[in-house]
Amino acid sequence: MRLPEQKLRFPSLIMCCGMALLLASCPVAWGGQEIGNPSQLVLEPAQVQLNGTRATQQLQVSGILSENNVRDLTGAAEFTSSDEAIVKVVDGVALPVANGTAEITATAGGQTAKIAVTVAGMETPSPVSFKNGTIAALSKAGCNMGACHGSPSGKAGFRLSLRGYDPALDIVTLRTEFFGRRTNAMAPEESLILTKPLMQVAHGGGRRLHKTDPGYKILRDWIGEGLRLDAESVPDVVKVEVFPSKRVFQPGSDRQQLRVDAHFSDGTVRDVTAIAVYSSSNESVATVGDAGLVSKHTRGESAVLVRYLDKMETSYITFLDDVEGFAWNNPPENNFVDSLVFAKLNQLQILPSELCSDEEFLRRAYLDTTGRLPTIEESQAFLSRSEENKRALLIDHLLDTDDFASYWTLKWGDILRSNSKKLNAKGVHKFRRWIYDAVRTDKPIDQFTRELLTAQGSVFENPPANYWRASRDPLDATETTAQLFLGIRIQCAKCHNHPFEKWTQDNYYGIGAVFARVGRKTGFEKDDEIIFVSNSGEVKQPRTGQTMKPHLLLKGDVDVPEGQDRREVFAEWLTAADNPFFAKVAVNRIWGHLMGRGIVEPVDDFRDSNPPSNAPLLDKLAEDFIANNYSRKWAIRTIMNSRTYQLSSRKNDFNDTDEIYNSHAGTRMLSAEQLLDAICQVTSVPENFKGLPVGFRAVELPDPPTDHYFLKIFGQPQREMACACERSNESNLSQALQMINGPVVHNKLRDDKGRIAAAIAAGKDNATIITELYLAALSRQPAEEELAAAIKHVGDTKDKERRMTLEDVGWALLNSKEFLFQH
């Protein structure tokens, strides 16, 4: 009877062996991701040193499928320890058990990898460090966020310093405030700072902790150890590293386990993966869990900001996908801009749009360079040209016009806060003229910046000194200068270390010290002011009371000899070719204006958690910008001559969701000044500005009028902020009502001296008038069906009725998206 039973088992054995062979040669899936067939397994870190009972080490396992295809297999790997009495592995984390050495083996996809582990110091007490452990645990739980107890007034009477920037305050709050009722050293688990985030006691912030969290154990142990303060010998964290710092995943990979190491002032390095804080710059692409596991949602790029205490680092993760039907069509490349943009698009499998038409390019180029529409004559002249390089010739022509200088002067006037409230009327006119001359002559932007920052003397005789009339104190100058020329919104560091960047209060007030000796006194002429360098003036750090030395970001404090202008030292550092900020910020502003969106967006918000959409492109633009003597005209010419700039705004099936990689032209509403000037130009009825000659363009206004309703509702800034964000580009109901039935459009269309009335008086037929309206408003001829519809609307009307119907056509054009938007 046993023999038949054995015979029955034999086929099953054959089947199992066959299945094993099959599995060994085919990809295996885990958690929705295939392990694949790695040719090699890499286990990191290469060796592990665990010192003390609290030491841990996050392990990482990578499968090498090919040269450019690395897959994270940490969650799929099986870990074994050669001696679990020395070290054990739990959920991919190595934990010490006893002093000694051992080996950890990882197995996945039929491959293995090994690393050596040394455990030491298990007999030595390892109390929780308040500054390195307790504060990190509070940050991990989110207790000291700005929206919670880290707000200036705290929450429910409980205040912590934001992100732990002031440990001395946190010590008082946790140990002694309210008679120590928040912590209970005799029964740590009953402490309010544990029971509330566990939701054992009602908590407005909801559940922030679980008993299995590493942060819970740190807080509980610190309380149970008697709320111990750190000895002077306890080291400070000096930097953090995140692994991998950058990785591009091929299709089939959908996760990455991060590893975070903290480096301390005593030379030690500790794994802090479990208590680091993570955030993703693009959560539609990828999110990151509390344990540092990055999970893909769709193809694209995300920067994961990793923060431990006040140190931050970023990991750049790209997830690729195969897009059905995608085939790169090798579009022509006009210059390096196209090479770098198209390389990114090809990698992400995004197909660029076709080239825009001559009519679209013409209108786009005029609006971007001069702020106005081309005239009918200019449109006809360009469209009739047959040269292959006629677009390049037009760009060269536009950059050499007064209109170009006027329009780009407007842009600088906005962010330099050139308004009569700050500078008075005469100062505004003087300052505008200086900016205009700088743009017209293409003064290098580094020289332009140095002249602004080091200006002295009468604001009337030396107009760049008006920069210091707008910035009235060292702290305002700090924030303005950092945002304008470093692309850093450093305002947060005024009251505390920046919560999302590496900049500290010391950095903020150190920059303030650079500008502490800018003096001001009344000039000899009415309303004049003299800017001079004072012999005294210091800035104190409000939290520490320390008198700050002048500070240069990423370089450190500097000693400036008495008698030397601190601003000169700062300006030389700022505009030096090796400055990591200045050139990138300058070209990014230019790119943002021409393309509708910066490579870094917003254009003045450079930070690790807001990465460039195309870092190689930004680097190359900045490098060549410096090589070309910081020429704004070079940058504009280079970008506008690229095929990327000249792509159509019409999307295809492969780029319809792309808004950041420049696969098509962006559409954006005309600015307030552009729109008003365009309406005036189409109707041939100029706007009258108080105190200025008739025909003055809105983009030439030296000072934004406070009483011009049209400009106001379409987003003209009042120049109170050194931020491009002050100019609003959001559409609203008031704008729609102005265009549909507002006095500006209505009165200019009906004006007896306007385009339509003049054309009728000149005896032009309906088709000619309608064609001229199209050319004036849209820079193109009407299509046959458009012309037919318009002629049908006018019909056989005569005199007043004919004029009204033609005005209807003009009204329809002015209210069309094609007119209102740049495309």
In the chain, the N- to C-terminal Cα span, in Å, equals: 85
User: Closest Cα partner for 413 from 436, 446, 442?
Assistant: 436
Element (H, E) at 318: strand 311-319
For 302, the token pair is 């995300």
Lookup result for tokens 């000249």:
646
**H-helix or E-strand spanning residue 359:** helix 358-370
Q: How far apart are CA 199 and CA 180, in angstroms?
A: 20
Closest by Cα among 352, 254, 315 to 656: 352
Contact 609, 498 (CB under 8 A): no
Residue for token digits 């090796």?
Answer: 578
Read off the pTM. Answer: 0.89
Q: What strands lie across the sheet with 93-96, from one edge to the other?
A: 57-58, 93-96, 87-90
**Which residues are CB-neighbours of 327 under 8 A, at least 6 positions away?**
none
On whether the CB atoms of residues 496 and 139 are closer than 8 A, the answer is: no
The Cβ of residue 246 has, within 10 Å, a number of other Cβ atoms equal to 12
Nearest to 497 by CA among 509, 487, 485: 509
Describe the strand order of the beta sheet including 237-243 as a list of residue ranges: 237-243, 259-264, 269-271
DSSP assignment, residue 252? T
Contact assessment for residue 139 and residue 309, using Cβ atoms and an 8 Å cutoff? yes
What's the one-letter identity of residue 69? N
Query: What pLDDT is stored for residue 293 in this prediction?
Result: 96
Inter-axis angle of helices 390-399 and 632-641, to 10 degrees? 160
Per the document, the length of the chain is 823
Q: Which pairing describes strands 255-257 and 293-296: parallel, antiparallel, or unpaired? A: antiparallel
Q: Cβ atoms within 10 A of the Cβ of 117, count? A: 23
Cβ burial, residue 410 (10 Å; 0-12/13-18/19+): buried
Q: Do domains 30-120 and 241-319 have the same CATH topology?
A: yes
Q: Which long-range contacts (CB under 8 A, 24 or more apart) does 420-425 make?
A: 420/703, 422/469, 422/470, 422/719, 423/459, 423/466, 423/469, 423/470, 424/527, 425/703
Asked whether 357 and 365 are in contact (CB, 8 A), the reply is no
Q: Give the torsion sign (CA, 263, 266, 272, 278).
A: negative
Instruction: For the beta carbon of residue 707, count every other beta carbon within 10 angstroms.
Output: 7
Could you tell me the two tokens for 768?
């000619």
Contact between 65 and 71 (Cβ < 8 Å): yes
Q: What is the DSSP string of 43-78?
A: EESSEEEEESTT--EE-EEEEEEETTEEEE-TTT-E
Return the CA Rg of the chain: 33
pLDDT at 498: 67
CATH class of 241-319: mainly beta
Strand pairing partners for 208?
none
Q: CATH topology for 30-120?
A: Immunoglobulin-like (2.60.40)
Query: Which phi and psi angles does 684 have, rounded to 5°?
Result: 60, 30
Q: Look-up: residue for tokens 């580094």?
A: 446
Helix (H), strand (E) at residue 799: helix 799-814
> Quick one: which H or E segment has residue 115?
strand 111-120
Distance CA 718, CA 705 (A): 8
10-residue mean pLDDT profile of the chain (823 residues): values are 33 36 46 81 95 95 91 95 96 96 94 96 92 90 80 78 80 76 85 86 85 90 89 93 95 94 95 95 94 94 93 94 94 97 96 97 98 97 96 98 98 95 94 98 98 97 96 94 94 73 87 95 93 94 92 94 95 96 98 97 91 96 98 98 98 94 96 97 95 92 93 94 87 93 96 96 96 97 96 94 96 97 95
Domain ranges of the chain: 30-120, 130-224, 241-319, 406-574, 672-714+731-822
Q: Find, among 803, 794, 784, 774, the residue nearest to 363 by Cα.
A: 774
SS3 state of residue 766 = helix
